[in-house]
Amino acid sequence: MSSGDSKTIASRRKAEVKRLLNQLGQKIYEDLENEMFPEVTLASRSVSNIVYDEQLKQYVLGPAKTRRSAHNIKHIRSFTQLIWLASFVNRLVETSKTSTLRDVFYSSQAYGVEFNDQSESDEIITDLEVLLSKAREDFNVYPEERSAIFGDLTIEYTVPGYEGRRLNLASHPDGYLIGPSLSTAEFVDTSAEMVIAVEKGGLFTRFVEENVHKRYKALIVDTAGQPPRSTRYMLKRLNAELKLPVYILADGDVYGEHIAMVIVSGSVGAAHLRDLTVPDAKWIGVWGTDIVKYRLPSDPLSEVDVKRIYELKKDPRYAKGIWQRELDVFLKIKRKSELEAFAKYGLTTIVDKYLPEKLQEAKSL
Amino acid sequence: MSSGDSKTIASRRKAEVKRLLNQLGQKIYEDLENEMFPEVTLASRSVSNIVYDEQLKQYVLGPAKTRRSAHNIKHIRSFTQLIWLASFVNRLVETSKTSTLRDVFYSSQAYGVEFNDQSESDEIITDLEVLLSKAREDFNVYPEERSAIFGDLTIEYTVPGYEGRRLNLASHPDGYLIGPSLSTAEFVDTSAEMVIAVEKGGLFTRFVEENVHKRYKALIVDTAGQPPRSTRYMLKRLNAELKLPVYILADGDVYGEHIAMVIVSGSVGAAHLRDLTVPDAKWIGVWGTDIVKYRLPSDPLSEVDVKRIYELKKDPRYAKGIWQRELDVFLKIKRKSELEAFAKYGLTTIVDKYLPEKLQEAKSL
């Protein structure tokens, strides 16, 4: 994985995506040469085809397929959009440029390919993900949202103009944005022994100021709320490549619990993708139990909160262990708390007392 | 401004804030020693006392004053909150720790000081800003939002643990978060000749990929929408300390125009503060005129958009020049466009064609 290794992870990803896009193009040409209407077949994303996989511990697409054929007048629009998108991202990958979801929507107009709005182009991007079994980031399409990372991890860039350059992620105490360059960088060296993912920028800064990276030999990741995919992919890589355990701290409410679950097992909307989950990541707080135990300032649950808890209680991923137990605790105490609530006991209490106690507790999870 | 200079900007800011806080404490003690009820007097923030200053080219507070006295039963709550806050931030500054707005709200509970909700504590934080004529960032209270910067600028940190360490802001192509450390860093060296502030992360990444920092010798700042104060303060510093002109690119609508105006002349809510405006920053686009000239994909204005335009037309800051002219153009063409709309003409058109044309045009603004 060092710079001497000619096959970096990024270059392997790129080669694989190019191979798949090429295969797709080849298939279309062959159909035409055989005087057939070109068509593609992809896994269906209808709700009835999204099933929970106990083994993978995430939602996956079932066996149902969808066919898109140039022969069918109803398919021509989406078929054309899909093939245009494949050629567009093929050039992105070729030229090592990135694009946003929004850019894709507008770029189509240069080719006379019509999308009514961005939600339509986003849909086709997801179709291409399904068709290639690759995340859009693999073909250089990124969303706008960004999150951040900090700690002793030396990376080596693979993006044009920066190939081979190295950077230590503890060198800027405000944190490093997790964008296209960091997502595709190689991991060279780290002294870290764990990753702590926190939901909020304020707490991220607190952790840096209180030297959590040194005291707990940790890399700190700010998920900035529900983590964007590039962040989940980064957490996955830190866990898989560096064998670092991942601990998650989010607000003490049903949304915080769900942020943790999405890191652990992915989202329903990404049922067609792998490599975005960290099945052995641990949600260490803030639990409903902690609200009581640490006597945290709290707010009453709203009707929407309660409704959401009942929804998640029916989700198979929440059927067991602390996931189900804490949903019940939230319902019972009818209260929720934020990470910042620990400030009641002093700004550093969350680092000095709560974090070590929860990391200790996590060993038995 | 080099590391050899013992009086850094950050240390001068800190000394000044400590002096002001001390003065406030002194005043309270003196009142008590003189057997008077302690009180403070601060400029009124009522709407009638917010006036536009033609000279400063920003909104300022007028001559009306508000008195807060421990003698008045109605004042006791807010007076106590204010004095507690002063002592709280005094310790923050003393120990070089930062806090978020939310942390302040929860921290009060450790002292039995009551705030009904965060909006009440935010109000008191603003009161302290008014009283000291200092932004909350000066007394180490930061909001959550973050924006980013990229380009050839070498900085030197002043935060604990990093004092004297230097970093070049072109070394991470995803950009550097503008948090407490960067806000308080010294500027050591730059080859940049201008600053380009863009409204969106996607465009920021595009600019980095297309080497705008080299081709235009520019520092690129992502304001992430309406720029948080730390970003406006950073733009101010780049302009004042490094004498760099600032150019602003935002979406082609009334909100984009207002983002530019807030960078130029501040916000009404910060009428009590200085050092957050860049009066000679130039809004270079996307203008309504550009939507027509570049035949950009566009959307119809909503009723809310139109209402907002009429509001701004009455604002004295929009009375002249392109500010008024472009509001009229938006009204006339009844359309708005986004920065990403240029992707219709290819992903790099905004960099290769639009940006140089607008920078040229800016010379005559």
pLDDT tens-place string over residues A226-283: 898 889 999 999 999 999 999 999 999 999 999 999 999 988 888 888 888 999 999 9
pLDDT exceeds cutoff 70 at A1: no
Residue of B29, B52, B59, B106 marked active site? B106
Provide the shortest C-alpha distance from residue A325 to chain B (in Å). 27
Domain boundary among B109, B124, B142: B142
| More confident call, A297 vs A56 | A297
Kindly state whether residue B110 falls inside one of the protein's structural domains.
yes
Residues B62 and B114 grouped into a single domain: yes
* Residue of B174, B345, B352 to mutate, interface with A, max A Cβ within 10 Å: B174
From the list B201, B202, B344, the residue facing A110 with the nearest CB is B344
Q: Is B106 a catalytic residue?
A: yes
CATH of the domain at B22: 1.10.10.10
Is B136 part of a structural domain of the chain? yes
Residue A193 has a pLDDT of: 98
Q: Are residues B67 and B165 part of one domain?
A: no
Judgement on whether residues B230 and B129 belong to the same structural domain of the protein = no
Q: Is residue A48 part of a domain?
A: yes
Instruction: Flag whether B315 is in a domain.
Output: yes
B109 vs A contacts (CB less than 8 Å): 297, 344
pLDDT in tens, A152-199: 999 999 988 899 999 999 999 999 999 889 988 999 999 999 999 999
**Pair (A204, A100) in one structural domain:** no
pLDDT for residue A121: 93
- Asked if A179 and B202 come within 8 Å (Cβ–Cβ), the reply is no
Left (φ > 0), alpha (ψ -120 to 50) or beta: where does A34 sit?
alpha
Residues A324 and A213 in one domain: yes
pTM of the model: 0.86
Q: Considering CB atoms only, which of B97, B159, B171 is closest to A347?
A: B97
Residues A115 and A205 reside in one and the same domain: no
Of the candidates A104, A122, A142, which is a domain's last residue?
A142
Strands A58-61 and A50-53: antiparallel
Beta strands in chain B (DSSP E): 39-43, 50-53, 58-61, 65-69, 99-100, 141-142, 148-150, 153-156, 166-168, 176-177, 186-190, 194-198, 218-222, 246-249, 282-285, 299-300, 335-336
Q: What is the pLDDT of residue B180?
A: 86
Residue B1 confidence (pLDDT): 38
Q: What is the pLDDT of residue A3?
A: 40
Instruction: Tell me if A283 is assigned to some domain.
Output: yes
pLDDT at B4: 42
- In this structure, the answer to whether residues A203 and A96 fall within a common structural domain is no
Q: A167 vs B172: CB contact, 8 Å cut-off?
A: yes
| pLDDT computed for residue A249 by the predictor | 98
Of B106, B202, B347, the CB nearest to A97: B347
In this structure, are B174 and B110 located in the same domain?
no
* Interatomic CA distance for residues A108 and B311, integer angstroms: 35
- Is A79 a member of any domain? yes
Q: Using 70 as the pLDDT threshold, list the residues of chain B that sit under it.
A: 1-7, 145
Q: Looking at CA atoms only, how far is residue A213 from chain B in angstroms?
A: 13
Token pair recorded at residue B248: 């602003």
Asked whether residue B180 falls in the same domain as residue B295, the answer is yes
Does any domain span residue B88? yes
| Domain contains B22 | yes
- The C-alpha atoms of residue A97 and residue B286 are separated, in whole angstroms, by 23
Is B94 found in the same domain as B163?
Answer: no
Interface test with A, best of B90, B102, B103, B142 (most A CBs within 10 A): B103
Residue A173 to residue B159, Cβ atoms within 8 A: yes
Contact A165 B148 (CB under 8 A): no
Query: Would the CB atoms of A297 and B99 count as touching at under 8 Å?
Result: no
On whether both B27 and B74 belong to a single domain, the answer is yes
pLDDT in tens, A300-341: 999 999 999 999 999 989 999 999 999 999 999 999 999 989
Count how many domains chain B has: 2
Residue A295's CATH number: 3.40.1360.10
- Same domain membership, residue B175 and residue B132: no
The ipTM value here is 0.82
User: Do A343 and B297 make contact, defined as CB atoms within 8 angstroms?
Assistant: no
> Number of helices (H) and strands (E), helices first, in chain B?
14, 17
Amino acid B6: pLDDT: 53
Best probe of the A interface among B137, B146, B207, B212, by most A CBs < 10 A, is B146
Residue B87 structural domain: 9-142
- Residue ending a domain, among A142, A174, A199, is A142
Q: What is the pLDDT of residue A22?
A: 97
